[in-house]
Amino acid sequence: MGVGKSCLLLQFTDKRFQPVHDLTIGVEFGARMITIDGKQIKLQIWDTAGQESFRSITRSYYRGAAGALLVYDITRRDTFNHLTTWLEDARQHSSSNMVIMLIGNKSDLEARREVKKEEGEAFAREHGLIFMETSAKTAANVEEAFINTAKEIYEKIQEGVFDINNEANGIKIGPQHSPASGGAGGSRPRQQADSGGCC
Amino acid sequence: MNYFKSFVKGNEEAQPTGTETVARLCDRISSSTLLEDRRDSVRALKSLSKKFRLEVGSQALPHILQLLRSDASDEDICSYSLETLINLTTVEDDEEGDTIIQSEFAMSFIEKFIDTVENIMLVLEMIERYDFTVRWSAIRLLTSLLRGKPSVVQQTILVQPMGISRIMDLLSENREVIRNEALLALIELTRGNANIQKIVAFENGFEAIFAVINEEGFCDGGVVVEDCLMLLLHLLKNNSSNQQFFKEGTLIQRLSPFFDISPESSWSAQKNANIHLMLKVIRTLVSPSNPSNFLQSCQLAMQQCNLLAKLSDLLMATGVPTDVLTEIINTVSEVLRGSTENQHVFANVMAPWEPPRSALVVLLMSMVNSQQPFFLRCAVLYCFQCFLHKNATGQSQIIDTLLPSSLEPHDVSSGQLLCGGLFAQSDTLSNWLAATALSHALHSNEPAKCQLLRVQLATAPGNTPVTLLRQLTSIIQQTTHLQTRIGLLNLLCCWLSNCPIAISHFLDDESTVPFLLSQLAVSGNDRDLLVNGVCALLLGICILDNDGSITHYSKESLIELVDARVGVENFCDTLGCVSQHDLYAKALQKHQPTSDTPRNLLFDYSFAKLFKALEDKITKTVSNLEDIKKEEEVKAAMKAHDSIITEYKTLIREQDSKVAKLQSKCAKLEKDVQETESLLKDRDSQVQQLKDQYNLMKLTQGDDSSSTMKQIQDLLAENNKKSEELASNAKRIKELENEVEKYVAIANEHSPMQDKIKDDCMENGVSEENESFDLKHYKELEDENKKLTKEVEECQESVRRLTESEVLNTAKIQEQILICDAIRKEQEDLLILLSDQETKLKDYKQKLANLGEEVSDDETDSIGEDEVVDDENSPSDQ
C-alpha cells in the first residue's frame, strides 16, 4: 500500500480513481495541460516509485525538476515520519529553487487519521514548504495541489528565479500561440511526484 | 584453429619473451619512481595488449588500475591505461586469428574487470576528465564493457548518483568525436533497460538527439544520424512511458522535417539506413499493439504536422529505392490504420499523374503488377488493409467501383484492378493479393457483403454475364494453383461468414457442395491439405450461418452429407490441418502480411483470426448432429414456446403501453386535480375577499347613511330651530313695528303740539323746557327704532342664511341618496357574481367527482359551512 502518488497523478491527468493500483516500477510519466494567468502550460510529471529499492533510480529525477510533491499518508504515521529523509534527499539532489509541496493524502479516510492536519502544517512551516491535504479518491484538492505548485513555479519564473533559457531546470518555453502575448508563451515546468516512504 | 595452433606454438617459442616482457613491464609500473618510466611501460603494455591479450590480461590489470589511481593526473598514463583496457575488452572483426577464442578471452577479462564496482566507477570518473584522449578512451572503454556484460554494467551505472547524467552531458560535447562515442555508449546503455531509457529521456535525451540530428543534416547526415536514430529507437521501443513523454513533448512534430526530401536528391546507402530507422521510430509510435488512445493521438499528430502528407508524397515520388518505398508504404499503413480522419485524408491523395489518379489506385496497380517486387506488393496489401480497417465508408466505396456505374470507361478503378488481380491467369500471387484485398473490403461489413452479390462479370464478349460469386467458385474448381485456390477460398470464407444471403447464393450453385465434399477427401502433402482445411472451413461456415433457405442444404442435411461422405472426425481433422500449420501460426502473429517467399503467402492476419474464431464452433456443431437435431427440436419447441412467449410479450407490451397510457392519463388527471384545487382555493379566497369587501362595504355604507341621516336630522333640527327663531323674530318685529306705529302715532299726535310748543317757545321760553323734553324723548325713540330696524335686518339675514344652508343640506342629502343607490346596485352585482361562482364551484366539484377524484363531503361541507358562518357573521357585523 503506497501513499497514493500514482493515484494522485491518475486523478490529475485522467480524472479517475483506481482503487487497486500496481506498484510503480521505477518511474512513470504523465502530462496535463493547465492554464495559469491566461497562459497554456503543459505539466510534465514523473511519478516515482516509493519503494526503497528504487530509491537510487528515483534520485535521478530530482535534477532538472522545477517542482516536487512530497506525499505522505495521513492514516499512517510512519509515512509522515519518513518525510525528513525524503526531504533531505530531494534538497540534496535538486536545485535549491525547486518548489516543494507537502501533501497529506487520503483525507477521505478521516476515521483512520493518524497524523493531524496541524502536524502537517507545522512540518511544512518549519521546512518552508507549501502544504495541502488531498484525497485522490474523492479528488479533493488534487487539482489545487498540482496547479498551486505550478503557480508557485510560474511566479518564480516571473521573478526571474528560474532561468527559462536553461532547460536544465526543467522549464521550457513552448511555441508562442499568440504573438501579442509576449513573455512566456507556454512554459513547461516539470514536476516530480515524490513520496514520504511507503514500506 | 590454425591460428590457435600457431599461437600456442608461437607461445612456446615466444613464451619467455611474451610473458616475461609483460611481467617486466608490470614490475616497472609498480616499482619505478620515475613518471617517465611508468608512462613508457604502460605505453609498451598497450602495444602488446593486442598481440598478447592473455598475458597482459592476466597480469597487468591490478597494475593498470593502480596506475589510473596514483597517476590520475597524468593524461598520457591515463589514456594509455584506458587504451590497454579497451584492447583487452574488444575484439575487432579484422583481427587476425580466431576471433571466437579472442572473444572468449575478452569476455572473461570484462567479467574480471567489472567484478569490482569501483572499476566501473573509475571509468565514470575518467569520463568526467576534460582531456580529450582520456575522455575519449574512457567512453570507448565503457561502451565495450557495456557490449560485453550489459546488464551488470547498466545496473551499476543506474544506481550511481549522476551516473547517467555524466554520459548524457557528453551529448552536448563540442568535440564531435566524443559526442559520437557518447551516442554509441548510450545505445548500449539503453539497450533493453527501461529504467535507464526513462532517465535518459528525463535528462532531455530526446532534445539532445534532435539537436544532433539537426546539426548533422537530418536524413542526409552520416552514420551519426543513424546512431541518433538507433538511440531514439531504443528509448521508445517497448517503453510506453517514454512514448507518452515523446508525444506530450510535441516531439512527433519534430520528426516531420526528416522527410523534407527533394525528389532529385540522391539515395545513398547511409540515407536509406537513416530513413529506415526513422520509419521504424514512427512505426513504434503507431504500432497496432499500442493502447488505442495513445495510438490515435499519435496518428492524428502525424497527420496534423504534415508527416502523413510528406510520406504520401514520397510514395508517389519517383526514384525512391524500392526497399525504402516498401517501408514507407508499411509506415503509412500504420499511420492510417483505424484512424477515420487519416483514412479520409489519404483517400484524397492524388498521384501527380496525367490524368491524376488516386494514390490508392496507383498502389493497387503495383500490387497486381507481377513485375513489382514481392515485399512492395505485400506492403500495398497491408496499406489497403489498414486503409479499410474500421472504415465502412471506404469499404462501400471500393465495392461500389465493382458495380455498374457512370464511371468513365478509360478510368481505372480499384474495383477493376482487384478483379484484374483476382482473375489474372499467370500470376497466382496477384490472385491471392487481390482476393485478400477484396476480403478486407468485406470485413465486418454485412451491407458490403450483400452488395458484392450484385456484381456481374462479362467473361467473354457475347457470353451472358456471370456473377462474381459463381465466377470465383468455378475458378476455385478449375485452377490447379494452390495459392490462387487458397486465396479465393479465403475470400469466400470472409464473404460468407455472418452472411446467410451469400451462403444461400453460394449453395444455390449445384456444383459447390459436391466440389467441397470431394476436395475434403483428396490426399496430398501438407500444403495440399491446407486447401482441404480451408474448404472444410468454408463448408463449416455454410453450416454455421445457414438460415435454411436452401432446403436440401440445410444445417442438418449438410452435416449428414459431411458425415456420410468423409466422416465427421475426418472433417474435423482436416479443419485442424490449418491451425497446426506454421504459416497459419505466423499469420496470426502480425497484422502485416509477410512471408519469406511469395509462394508461402497463403494466409493473412484477418483470415487467421476468422479461422481461430470459427474452428471451435464448427467442430462442436458438426460433431453434435444429434445435439443439433435435438437443438432443432428444442428450437422448434422453443419456437412454439417462443410464439407463446411472443404472444405474451405482445400482450405484455400492449399492457405495458396501456399502463403507460393510463399512467400518463392519471398523471394528467392528478395535475388537473391539483390545478382545480388551486383554482378552487383561489376562488375560495376570492369569495372570501368579496365577502369581506361586501361586509366592509355594508358597514361603511351603514355608517355613511346613518351619519348622513343624523346630519340631515341635525340640519332639520337646526332648520326647525332657525325657523322658530325666525318666527319669534318676525313676531318681535311685528311687535316692534306695532310699537313703532304706536310711537309714530304718538309722535303725530305730538307734532301739532310740538309745533305749538315751538311756537310757544318762540313766544315764551316756558314751553321750551317741555319741548326739549319731547325732543329728547323722540330721539330716544328714534334710536330704539334704528336699533330695532337693525335687529330686524340681522334676523332677516340669518333667515336667509338658514334658508341657504337648508338648500345645501337638501342637495347633500340628495347626493347621499344617490351614493346609497349606487352601492346598493354594486352590492346586487356582487351577489349575482357570488351565486355565479357558487354554481361554478358546484360544477367543478361535479367534474372532479366525475373524473374519479374523491371530493370529500368535508370539502363541500366546509365550503357550505363557511358560507353559513359568513352569513351569520354578516348581520352581526352590521
Mean pLDDT, residues B248-266 taken together? 86
Question: What is the per-residue pLDDT across A52-76, written as a single tens digit (0 to 9) for each?
Answer: 888 888 888 888 888 999 999 999 9
Rounded Cα gap, residues B530 and A48, in angstroms: 52
Least confident range from B50-59, B359-368, B377-386, B468-477: namely: B50-59
Tell me the C-alpha to C-alpha distance, in Å, between residue B83 and each of B157, B170, B290, B811.
Answer: 21, 19, 44, 141
Interface contact B244, partner A, CB < 8 A: yes
Rounded Cα gap, residues B61 and B105, in angstroms: 14
- The x, y and z cell numbers of residue B531, run together, are 486447401
- By C-alpha distance, the chain A residue nearest B247 is A31
Rounded Cα gap, residues B519 and B566, in angstroms: 10
Interface contact B121, partner A, CB < 8 A: no
Q: Is residue A195 part of a domain?
A: no
Rounded Cα gap, residues B381 and B396, in angstroms: 18
**pLDDT value, residue A182:** 32
Domain count, chain A: 1
Interface of chain A toward chain B, CB-CB under 8 angstroms: 25-31, 42, 44, 46, 56-57, 59-61, 63-64, 93, 167-168, 174
Question: What is the per-residue pLDDT across B820-829, written as a single tens digit (0 to 9) for each?
Answer: 888 888 888 8
Question: What is the per-residue pLDDT across A101-141, written as a single tens digit (0 to 9) for each?
Answer: 999 999 999 999 999 999 999 999 999 999 999 999 999 99
Q: Is the pTM of this model over 0.95?
A: no
Cell 348581520 appears where? B875
Interface contact B305, partner A, CB < 8 A: no
The domain boundary, picked from B151, B172, B189, lies at B189
Do the Cβ atoms of B578 and B584 come closer than 8 Å? yes
B251 to chain A, minimum CA–CA distance in Å? 12
pLDDT above 60: residue B774? yes
**pLDDT value, residue B878:** 40
**pLDDT value, residue A181:** 32
Looking at beta carbons, which residues of chain A come within 8 Å of B160? 56
Mean pLDDT, residues B111-116 taken together? 88
Of B161, B165, B245, the CB nearest to A29: B245
**pLDDT value, residue A184:** 34
Give the CATH number of the domain where residue B94 resides.
1.25.10.10
Rounded Cα gap, residues B110 and B143, in angstroms: 12
Asked if the bond preceding B356 is cis, omega within 30° of 0, the reply is: no
Rounded Cα gap, residues B489 and B435, in angstroms: 9
- The x, y and z cell numbers of residue B550, run together, are 436452401
By CB atoms closer than 10 A (0-12, 13-18, 19+), residue B240 is middle
Question: What is the per-residue pLDDT across B11-69, written as a single tens digit (0 to 9) for each?
Answer: 445 445 678 888 888 888 888 888 888 888 888 888 888 888 888 888 888 888 888 88
Q: Is residue B827 part of a domain?
A: yes
Mean pLDDT, residues B174-190 taken together? 93
Q: What percent of chain B has pLDDT over 70?
A: 88
Amino acid at B475: I
Single out the residue of B366, B354, B362, B347 nearest to residue B308, CA to CA. B347
Distance of CA B845 to the CA centre of its chain: 57
Tell me the C-alpha to C-alpha distance, in Å, between residue B196 and each of B42, B239, B284, B387.
Answer: 35, 11, 19, 37
* pLDDT band (50, 70, 90) for residue B3: very low
**pLDDT value, residue B4:** 45
Which DSSP helix (H) or strand (E) runs through B629?
A: helix B625-763
Least confident range from B55-59, B120-124, B506-510: namely: B55-59
Contacts of B196 (CB under 8 A, 6+ apart): B154, B157, B158, B164, B189, B190
Range of the domain at B100: 16-189
Tell me the C-alpha to C-alpha distance, in Å, between residue B610 and each of B91, B316, B700.
Answer: 51, 34, 99
Single out the residue of B843, B868, B869, B845 nearest to residue B856, CA to CA. B845
**pLDDT value, residue B410:** 59
Higher pLDDT, B308 or B460: B308
The residue of A9, A14, A29 whose CB has the most chain B CBs within 10 angstroms, and thus the best one to mutate to test that interface, is A29
* pLDDT band (50, 70, 90) for residue B754: low
- By C-alpha distance, the chain A residue nearest B208 is A167
Do the Cβ atoms of A197 and A79 come closer than 8 Å? yes
> In the beta sheet, which residues pair with residue A71?
A103, A195
Q: In this complex, do B248 and A26 lie within 8 Å of one another by their Cβ atoms?
A: no
Single out the residue of B604, B630, B519, B635 nearest to residue B570, CA to CA. B519
> In the beta sheet, which residues pair with residue A43?
A32
pLDDT above 80: residue A51? yes
Chain B, 143 to 202: residues with Cβ < 8 Å from chain A are: 158-162, 164-165, 194-195, 198-199, 201-202
Three-state SS annotation for B275-334: HHHHHHHHHHHCCCCCCHHHHHHHHHHHHHCCHHHHHHHHHHCCCCCHHHHHHHHHHHHH
Q: In this complex, do B241 and A29 lie within 8 Å of one another by their Cβ atoms?
A: yes
Distance of CA B365 to the CA centre of its chain: 37
Give the CATH number of the domain where residue A77 resides.
3.40.50.300
> In the beta sheet, which residues pair with residue A101?
A69, A130
Rounded Cα gap, residues B228 and B218, in angstroms: 10
Three-state secondary-structure class, residue B866: helix
Question: What is the per-residue pLDDT across B791-824, written as a single tens digit (0 to 9) for each?
Answer: 888 888 888 888 888 888 888 888 888 888 888 8
pLDDT above 90: residue B403? no
* pLDDT band (50, 70, 90) for residue B755: low
Q: Is residue B446 part of a domain?
A: no
Least confident range from A30-34, A169-173, B141-145, B503-507: namely: A169-173
Tell me the C-alpha to C-alpha distance, in Å, between residue B852 and each of B172, B397, B756, B842, B862.
Answer: 91, 63, 123, 15, 20
Q: Is residue A173 part of a domain?
A: no
Measured in degrees and rounded to the nearest 5, phi and psi for residue B120 equal -65, -40
Range of the domain at A102: 5-159
**pLDDT value, residue B408:** 58
Single out the residue of B499, B479, B482, B350 nearest to residue B439, CA to CA. B499
Do the Cβ atoms of B441 and B395 come closer than 8 Å? yes
**pLDDT value, residue A125:** 94
Question: What is the per-residue pLDDT across B517-541, written as a single tens digit (0 to 9) for each?
Answer: 888 888 888 888 889 999 999 999 9
Do the Cβ atoms of B364 and B414 come closer than 8 Å? yes
**pLDDT value, residue B854:** 64
B822-851: b (≥16 Cβ within 10 Å) or e: ebeeeeeeeeeebeeeeeebeebbeebeee
Do the Cβ atoms of B358 and B315 come closer than 8 Å? no
- The x, y and z cell numbers of residue B83, run together, are 587504451
Looking at beta carbons, which residues of chain A come within 8 Å of B249? 44
Domain count, chain B: 2
Do the Cβ atoms of B347 and B396 come closer than 8 Å? no
Q: Is residue A165 part of a domain?
A: no
Q: In this complex, do B158 and A167 lie within 8 Å of one another by their Cβ atoms?
A: no
Q: Is residue A33 part of a domain?
A: yes
Q: Is residue B439 part of a domain?
A: no
pLDDT above 60: residue B764? no
Largest CA distance in chain A: 53
- By C-alpha distance, the chain B residue nearest A28 is B241
Mean pLDDT, residues B482-489 taken together? 92
Least confident range from B279-288, B347-356, B732-741: namely: B732-741
Q: Is residue A182 part of a domain?
A: no
Mean pLDDT (chain B) is 84
End-to-end CA distance of chain B: 142
Question: What is the per-residue pLDDT across B76-109, written as a single tens digit (0 to 9) for each?
Answer: 888 898 998 888 888 777 666 677 888 888 888 8
Sign of CA dihedral A79, A80, A84, A89: positive
Looking at beta carbons, which residues of chain B come within 8 Å of A30? 244
- The x, y and z cell numbers of residue B766, run together, are 316756558
Q: Is residue A124 part of a domain?
A: yes
**pLDDT value, residue B182:** 94
**pLDDT value, residue A192:** 61
**pLDDT value, residue A116:** 94
Q: Is residue A172 part of a domain?
A: no
Single out the residue of B732, B729, B728, B736 nearest to residue B784, CA to CA. B736
**pLDDT value, residue B874:** 43
The ipTM is 0.82
pLDDT above 70: residue B596? yes
Q: What percent of chain B has pLDDT over 90?
A: 29
Of B164, B204, B241, the CB nearest to A167: B204
Q: In this complex, do B244 and A61 lie within 8 Å of one another by their Cβ atoms?
A: no
